[in-house]
Amino acid sequence: MDRRNLDRYKQLLLEKRGEMSVTIAEAESPIPAAGGLRGDPVDQANADAEAELQIHLHQTDGRLLRAIEEALTRIRNGTFGTCEACRNQISRARLEAVPWTRLCRDCKEHPVV
């Protein structure tokens, strides 16, 4: 992969990482207790479900953030854009959409178990 494309993907990754950091900072801020002490049981149930959703989002963000960091490392190592399973070049369209991916489309869709 040429230098210009590499820089472009690096930029995409850095941008995404910036977005993720903001999301995580928001997720970590205390969740206000919706309804408070006077909330009826239905409100409380909704608040619980919302809190769980936020925790779930937070975990997903953490994984994605790690994937982005790993992709940035691969750019430094010069292995970016190569499928980790079959060693083929990952298509440009796929890298545009998910620059932090480690697998080409074939390997992602048909993982060798």
HSE-CB at 101 with a 13 A cutoff on CA atoms is 22
User: Are the C-beta atoms of residues 24 and 68 closer than 8 Å to each other?
Assistant: no
Q: Toward Zn ion, which CB reaches closer, 40 or 109?
A: 109
3-state DSSP assignment of residue 29: coil
Give 89's strand partners.
82
Q: Toward Zn ion, which CB reaches closer, 49 or 86?
A: 86
CB of 47 to Zn ion, least distance (A): 44
Q: Which residues bind Zn ion (CB under 5 A)?
A: 83, 85-86, 104, 107
Q: Which residues contact 14 (CB under 8 A, 6 or more apart)?
A: 72
CB of 18 to Zn ion, least distance (A): 29
Q: Toward Zn ion, which CB reaches closer, 13 or 107?
A: 107
CB of 89 to Zn ion, least distance (A): 9
